[in-house]
Amino acid sequence: MASARCVLTEDHLLCSICLEVFTDPVSTSCGHSFCKTCINQHWNHSEQYHCPICNEDFSVKPQLKTNTFMSEMVSQFRASPEEPEEQTGTGGVPCDVCSTPRLRALKSCLVCLASFCPTHLDPHLRTPRLQRHPLIHPVQNLEERICPEHGKPLDLLCQTEKMFICVHCSVSRHKDHVSVPLEEECERQQTELEEIVKQRKQKIQEIQGSVKVNNQNADRELSEGVKVFSAMMESVQKSQHQFRERIKADQKAVEDRAAEIIEQLEQEICVLQWREAGMKQALKYEDHFSFIQTFSENTASDFQDLTNTMVSPHAHDDLVDKALSELQKTLLLHKKKKSEELKRVQQFEVDCPRLIPTL
């Protein structure tokens, strides 16, 4: 029975919205329980559906399920008022009517300035006159919640001076000030807090959206950059190949020209050597008349003048300069294309403002 009494304490059977014992308790998908009427009214006055306890957001209004276990516990609690009540423990508020042992209070009355256990609270629940008394969750030092000047509950907040006041204060010393009921101020602060949380969640979504867009831009730029550099490398390799082929072609042309001249000269040398041998043979007979008659002065004219015959090495500096010039033109062309693409993107962003995606 000890464990049963622990389950049936009023702390476990109170709705966190109305602070009363559950009426038609229902549970949300996050596992918290409320009075069916309380949670529906709470959602009717909220911009979005969320749990008042853990603040879990719901995209649509959740299907509330009756908490059968809690309903049974509430029924047992209400049907067993004669069972021994739990005595006041450490930190609990004692009933002001109970004699020793003093039981734990269930509610405090701001008019009676007293706290009552479930048994002694019953008159406030049944008597019409007492039903008008404002009941709150049991608290210590109820006198602090009563206006010392007028003896009325401090159920208003003066927003001008940031202090608790009673209804008489609001029409006397604070008549020119802005005052609101405490319940309304609590709702305002709760709404303000929810709005702050909402703004921060939206900011998180905005930042996440910006990161997503930035990643998309980075991937696009990386892809485009790889294409540009690949094209540049291909252009460099092509220019290098053309440069090599041009050098080789010039080299072969010089070699072919030199081989042609050398071949001609070697043929002429053979002829000249044959004549030289004839001259030596003629000189052996010391017949100078026949020598000159045979080897006339036309000997030199039979052969090409070698004065202007030469093979000039090519200077390839102009080829290097030309290759560099072509590469520079290619780079400038890629730069121009990139600049034009960037202008188109910027113009598109002006015409169609970026929408941060909602995650």
What gap in Å lies between CA 86 and CA 9, rounded to an integer?
A: 7
Domain boundary among 53, 84, 115: 84
- Domain count along the chain: 2
Contact at 8 Å (CB) between 25 and 14? no
Examine residue 250 and state whether it is found in any structural domain, yes or no.
yes
Examine residue 257 and state whether it is found in any structural domain, yes or no.
yes
Examine residue 115 and state whether it is found in any structural domain, yes or no.
no
Assign residue 15 the CATH number of its domain: 3.30.40.10
Examine residue 310 and state whether it is found in any structural domain, yes or no.
yes
What digits encode the pLDDT tens for the residues 203-213?
999 999 999 99
Domain boundary among 84, 111, 133: 84
What digits encode the pLDDT tens for the residues 147-163?
999 988 898 999 999 99
Copy the structure tokens of residue 354: 């970026």
Q: Is 5 a residue whose pLDDT tops 50?
A: no
Q: What is the dihedral of CA 79, 97, 111, 173, to 10 degrees?
A: -140
Examine residue 9 and state whether it is found in any structural domain, yes or no.
yes
Q: How confident is the model at residue 1 (pLDDT cuts 50, 70, 90)?
A: very low
* Backbone φ, ψ for residue 25 (5° rounding): -65, 135
Q: How confident is the model at residue 358 (pLDDT cuts 50, 70, 90)?
A: very low
Domain boundary among 44, 59, 84: 84
Examine residue 142 and state whether it is found in any structural domain, yes or no.
no
Tell me which of 81 and 98 has the higher pLDDT. 98
What digits encode the pLDDT tens for the residues 251-270?
898 899 899 889 988 988 89
Q: Is 116 a residue whose pLDDT tops 90?
A: yes
Of 52-66, 286-300, 324-338, the poorest mean pLDDT is in 286-300
pLDDT the model gives residue 6: 40
Comparing C-alpha atoms, which of 349, 331, 333, 350 is closest to residue 217?
Answer: 349
Average pLDDT of span 123-149? 88
Examine residue 104 and state whether it is found in any structural domain, yes or no.
no
- Order of strands, edge to edge, in the sheet holding 179-181? 163-165, 156-158, 179-181
Q: Containing domain of residue 236, as a range?
A: 230-351
Q: How confident is the model at residue 168 (pLDDT cuts 50, 70, 90)?
A: very high
Examine residue 156 and state whether it is found in any structural domain, yes or no.
no
Q: What is the dihedral of CA 110, 112, 117, 118, to 10 degrees?
A: -80
pLDDT the model gives residue 231: 84
Q: Is 178 a residue whose pLDDT tops 60?
A: yes
